């Protein structure tokens, strides 16, 4: 497996996020992914700067690591033509190190533009059209498009990288896999489900588009004090327990706080590796490898707890992961 670091925009300010990404490269992570939010999940996370500005800074401050959005919704808050321009620009700034991760989005971030929040099947229709528009613009030349959800009038990317920006798409089940596997260069998901990876490969094989990367994500809360780690994970990441069918629908941090008010610290600790035991993290990563994932990005919970995690990652965690799960 290749191991990545998550620059989580919900838990740190823009300057700190750039420093974290630089630290992740120094620590030896293979790639660095970034969330693209308008709001944090919970008030206690406390941040949400504009991801694309931060990505531009990270592209200039790093040299080696692959960069990626995990993930951008190209359907409401951003028009897909604008996302294509954003991605092409970051690909140029990073000199070919960028992968555009896309998804159908969450109400939390997309409702802010006042267009309401459509049901999942409509969101998938919108994302399909968005991917077509972005892909057409990546091809070069002028793009015109008329669909059920979008129009594009004579759009062209004037600064287009020589290396085409690959596209990853977030999926969670049969409907999304069937629709997006033939259109994407990589799969993005957060559950270590063998059947999800197998079905992705099966659909791509039937479409004769070959194998692809499968990129997962795992939250961890490293701390020398196990109790402090559990408390922090519960305070800032208990929203994760809701699952994506719920998480995509709630409109704001207050809703996530209400929906998770009965989630207990021990519930969070059962789902997220907490504390100083590196083997606990290795054990949590292993099911992703067994399911068929090729890449996994770790999320260290707590914006003020990145430096110590990166130090441990360099000295202990990444060597242990690479020994247990060689590339």
Q: What CA dihedral angle connects 48, 52, 56 and 59, to 10 degrees?
A: 90
**How far apart are alpha carbons 174 and 128 in whole angstroms?**
15
DSSP state of 84: H
Cα separations (Å) of 146 from 223, 253, 288, 299?
A: 52, 36, 39, 39
pLDDT tens across 243-298, in order?
888 999 999 999 999 999 999 999 999 999 999 999 999 999 999 999 999 999 99
Residue with tokens 């996370």: 45
**pLDDT score, position 326:** 80
Tell me the two tokens of residue 279.
Answer: 């083997």
**pLDDT score, position 138:** 98
Degrees, nearest 5: CA angle 250-216-240: 30
210 φ, ψ (degrees, to nearest 5) = 80, 180
- Provide the mean pLDDT of the chain: 97
Pairing mode of beta strands 151-155, 143-146: antiparallel
**pLDDT score, position 173:** 94
Helix axes 278-291, 194-206, angle to 10 degrees: 30
Cα separations (Å) of 170 from 25, 70, 93, 228?
A: 24, 8, 24, 32
**pLDDT score, position 245:** 85
**pLDDT score, position 243:** 83
Write the secondary structure of 5-37 as one string of H (helix), E (strand) and C (coil).
EEECCCCCCHHHHHHHHHHHHHHCCCEEEECCC
pLDDT < 50: residue spans in the chain: none
* Of the candidates 8, 24, 17, 26, the residue with the CA atom closest to the CA atom of residue 236: 8
CB distance 39 to 48 below 8 Å? yes
Tell me the two tokens of residue 228.
Answer: 């402090």
Cα separations (Å) of 29 from 48, 51, 190?
A: 23, 20, 19
């Amino acid at each position: 497996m290749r191991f990545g670091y998550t620059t989580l925009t919900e838990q740190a300010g823009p300057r700190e996020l750039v420093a974290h990404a630089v630290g992740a490269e120094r620590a030896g992570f293979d790639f660095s992914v970034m969330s693209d939010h308008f709001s944090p999940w919970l008030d206690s996370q406390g941040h949400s700067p504009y991801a694309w500005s931060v990505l531009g800074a990270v592209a200039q401050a790093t040299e080696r690591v692959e960069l990626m959005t995990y993930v951008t919704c190209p359907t409401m808050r951003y028009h897909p033509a604008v996302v294509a321009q954003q991605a092409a620009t970051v690909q140029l700034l990073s000199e070919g190190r960028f992968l555009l991760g896309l998804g159908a989005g969450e109400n939390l971030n997309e409702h802010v533009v006042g267009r309401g929040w459509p049901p999942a099947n409509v969101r998938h229709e919108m994302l399909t059209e968005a991917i077509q528009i972005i892909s057409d613009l990546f091809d070069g030349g002028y793009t015109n498009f008329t669909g059920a959800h979008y129009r594009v009038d004579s759009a062209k990317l004037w600064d287009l990288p020589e290396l085409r920006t690959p596209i990853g798409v977030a999926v969670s089940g049969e409907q999304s896999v069937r629709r997006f596997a033939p259109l994407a260069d990589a799969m993005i998901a957060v559950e270590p489900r063998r059947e999800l990876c197998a079905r992705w490969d099966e659909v791509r094989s039937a479409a004769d588009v070959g194998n692809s990367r499968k990129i997962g994500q795992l939250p961890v809360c490293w701390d020398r004090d196990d109790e402090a780690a559990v408390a922090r994970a519960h305070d800032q990441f208990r929203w994760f327990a809701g699952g994506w069918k719920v998480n995509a629908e709630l409109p704001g941090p207050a809703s996530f706080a209400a929906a998770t008010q009965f989630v207990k610290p021990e519930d969070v600790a059962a789902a997220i590796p907490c504390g100083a035991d590196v083997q606990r993290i290795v054990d949590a990563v292993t099911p992703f490898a067994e399911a068929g994932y090729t890449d996994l990005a770790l999320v260290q919970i707590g914006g003020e707890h990145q430096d110590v995690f990166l130090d441990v990652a360099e000295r202990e965690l990444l060597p242990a992961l690479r020994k247990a799960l060689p590339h």
